[in-house]
């Protein structure tokens, strides 16, 4: 029996295998990075949406209450900018305030501190500044609010700021 030796080798060389493995490693890193960036973008967007919804809801309630107010006693002398007290359309005392105690921060309505914002947001800045009426314009309240999603630790840019002026109608 004769044995024939063939010089044709079938298979891959070590160099070819290393090149293929390195190409797949680079592709894997690129795909992983793009997935991570997409997930971070989604988290940031959801965080901003939660903060914006809370802020818009609070401003809507505050605007409705203040536009219908019959008066704001002590408008010019209000030294506490975290609270605004007013008399509603029926002459009953009401208020809006920014509560920041025991690690909680929220916007509250009324003397019983009914929450206007949920636990999912933190109030970073809040002020109510009343400007009394003049001959040319009715009194108005300037509101500055900055909220942040409470669950968004480490996600940059999750703060939402709103500034508005609400003119009182019933003067």
Instruction: Show the 3-state SS of 88-133.
Output: CCCCCEEEEEEEEECCEEEEEECCCCEECCCCCEEEEEEEEEEECC
Assess contact for 119 and 148: CB atoms under 8 A: no
- Tens-digit pLDDT profile for residues 120-167: 888 889 999 988 888 788 888 999 999 988 877 666 667 889 999 998
Cβ(147)–Cβ(158) under 8 Å?
A: no
* CA–CA gap between residue 83 and residue 128 (Å, rounded): 6
List Cβ neighbours of 89 (8 Å cut-off, separation of 6 or more).
68, 69, 70, 170
The pLDDT of residue 7? 64
Q: Where are the domains of the chain?
A: 14-167
Per-residue pLDDT of the chain (171 residues; tens, 9 = 90+): 566 665 666 778 899 999 999 999 999 999 999 999 998 888 888 888 888 999 999 999 999 988 888 888 877 776 788 889 888 888 889 999 988 888 788 899 986 778 898 888 888 899 999 888 887 888 889 999 999 888 776 666 678 899 999 988 765
């Amino acid at each position: 029996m004769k044995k024939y030796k063939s010089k044709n080798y079938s298979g891959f060389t070590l160099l070819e295998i290393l090149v293929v493995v390195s190409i797949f490693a680079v592709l894997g890193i690129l795909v992983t990075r793009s997935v991570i960036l997409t997930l971070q973008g989604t988290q940031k967007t959801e965080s901003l949406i939660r903060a914006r919804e809370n802020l818009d809801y609070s401003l809507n309630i505050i605007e409705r209450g203040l536009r219908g107010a019959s008066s704001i006693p002590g408008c010019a002398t209000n030294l506490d900018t975290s609270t605004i007290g007013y008399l509603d359309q029926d002459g009953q005392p009401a208020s809006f305030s920014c509560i920041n105690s025991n690690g909680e921060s929220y916007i509250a309505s009324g003397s019983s501190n009914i929450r206007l914002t949920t636990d999912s947001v933190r109030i970073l800045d809040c002020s109510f500044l009343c400007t009394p009426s003049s001959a040319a314009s009715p009194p108005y309240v300037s509101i500055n609010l900055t909220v942040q999603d409470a669950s968004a630790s480490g996600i940059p840019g999750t703060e939402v700021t709103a500034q508005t002026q609400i003119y009182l109608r019933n003067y």
